[in-house]
Structure 1
């Protein structure tokens, strides 16, 4: 019984140690995900019971603010809590305030931004307000993909001093067995997300609804004709031709089967039956 009691105590202590490790890991993760102040950010610094030390200012291009009594304080690149501690330590070490309680509020985000261009509903520059912003978060800020937009995204930027160009297949980000962390990458300052237009196929001739149409993934010739309302009474399947531009710019004329796939830019022509 005594041995069992000791084993139970050890188990409880072990779980407590694991809980402490988990809490420490969560705290470290939260600290890593904290927003980093950057040039252009507007901040307000408040010191409890010291209204004369309240300051509202913009972070300079060099990451510095000019603070009363302390002079230039470099907070660029720091998280909010680290910037608060830096100012508090300066006030305490300079014997200006005995126990300073410093609060820094981020009023306007300008230092860390990313751009979204192309076929989105609200293209433009958007602030990176959290360090864990991902491609889908940035795309949501831009209002999502427009009706003319496709599934292919291109992310450009810098990582570790080297240029980054990453092609992202948007549907695969949400696929059941996808590694979302690998495809839905973290956004960093200066990144540009490009949303390409949707692929288009053109259909004309003896069809009910001729004109351009969105080419869905894996679409066959039969599906294209169905999307065009089908053939007219004068149309014939034997008169269907697909005009496709090759890599050298020359146009090839083909007579594909109905279950053959079509490609972006294809022109489907349905001839009139002679009988």
Structure 2
């Protein structure tokens, strides 16, 4: 007990004064204590204002200075929930901002709260889904588990692209602002300096398509003939090296590349070793005559 508290008690001061004196003597809370005092169940981080609520989403609704209206619940399969004073309301398909306005207008128009300030926190996202198709390890439909889920998050849920057959450029389709949406995303470019902005946000109903990687085909006098993945900028020499190199009977002078032109006709060309190959090229290594 501090000296100030003992003096107030001897003088017959009221209890409120004793409490104030004790708080003043205790000093400010430590940073750790303040953090413990203000911490609660952490909501999902990110730009949730434009997130559309769906069936199964767990949300917390608070009305400023009205603790009796605090509600933590989930959106039903029909997109509805029961809110105090308002009864059953439909929030499915509304953004967080629209849902907040709907509840605030209902409380105000019903003369329940004069100037309601409504806040909705998305605690768990379960109602929205996106699909991943094509050359991935686990194609299928996946829930959008966070309000700020990006393309790389969705791809990771599907196990990533298949190493040997998955292309680097992926196509995301869906709907934005009521209009059809389509964007091609270069996956390696996302991880380049300044490329994080290309990691687009995923919304309900989006479909991510991972096409097959470009291929070239090698046959003739090579150690391992057959199709192979065409890496970016791969030259003829690199492709031959990936095929194990030429056999003892193969010759560099007899190499031909069959390539389709813009009209779909096949042309036979004799490229240099440092020339880059294209998707669908067929490399033929002839047998040496000597």
Q: SS state of the match for residue 203, structure 1? A: strand
Q: Is the Cα–Cα contact under 8 Å of residues 46 and 147 in structure 2 kept in the other structure?
A: no
Equivalences for residues 1-275 of structure 1 within 5 A: 32-33=47-48, 36=51, 38-41=53-56, 43=58, 58-60=76-78, 63-66=79-82, 70-76=86-92, 77=94, 79=96, 86=103, 109-110=126-127, 112-147=128-163, 148-176=165-193, 178-181=194-197, 183-275=198-290
Shift of residue 146, structure 1, vs aligned partner? 1.0
The DSSP-based 3-state class of the residue aligned with 1:212 is strand
SS at match of 2:142: strand
Given that residues 171 and 185 in structure 2 are in contact (C-alpha distance below 8 angstroms), is that contact kept between their aligned partners in structure 1?
yes
Which is worse superposed, 30-39 or 188-197?
30-39
Deviation of 1:34 after TM superposition, in Å, equals 6.2
Partner Cα separation in structure 1 for residue 196 and residue 46 of structure 2 = 22
* Contact 1:55 1:67 survives alignment (8 Å): no
Q: Against the structure 1 CA distance between its residues 56 and 151, is the aligned structure 2 distance closer, same or farther, given a 3 Å change threshold?
A: closer
- Report the CA distance shift for 1:205/1:38 in structure 2 as closer, same or farther (over 3 A): same
SS at match of 1:249: coil
Change beyond 3 A, Cα 1:217–1:258 = same
Is contact 2:237-2:274 (8 Å) kept? yes
C-alpha deviation, 1:107, in angstroms: 6.9
Question: Residue deviations 1:120-153, cap 9 Å, x none?
Answer: 1111111122221111111111111112101011
* CA distance in 1 between partners of 2:246 and 2:224 (Å): 9
Distance in 1 of aligned mates of 2:223 and 2:169: 30
Q: Structure 2: any 5+ residue segments left out of the alignment? A: 1-43, 62-67, 113-119
Distance 1:263 1:78 in 2: 46
Call closer, same or farther: CA 1:117–1:192 in 2, change over 3 Å. same
Structure 1 residues 94, 160: CA separation in 2 closer, same or farther (over 3 Å shift)?
closer
Counterparts in 2 of 1:107 and 1:151: CA distance versus 1, 3 Å: closer
Q: Scaled by the length of structure 2, what TM-score is found? A: 0.67
Q: Classify the secondary structure of the residue corresponding to 1:58.
A: coil
Size of the aligned set, in residue pairs, is: 233
Cα distance in 2, alignment partners of residues 179 and 54 from structure 1? 38
In the alignment, structure 1 segments of 5+ residues that lack a partner are: 1-28, 96-102
State the structure with more CA Rg. Answer: 2
* 8 Å contact from structure 2 (residues 215, 229) kept in 1: yes
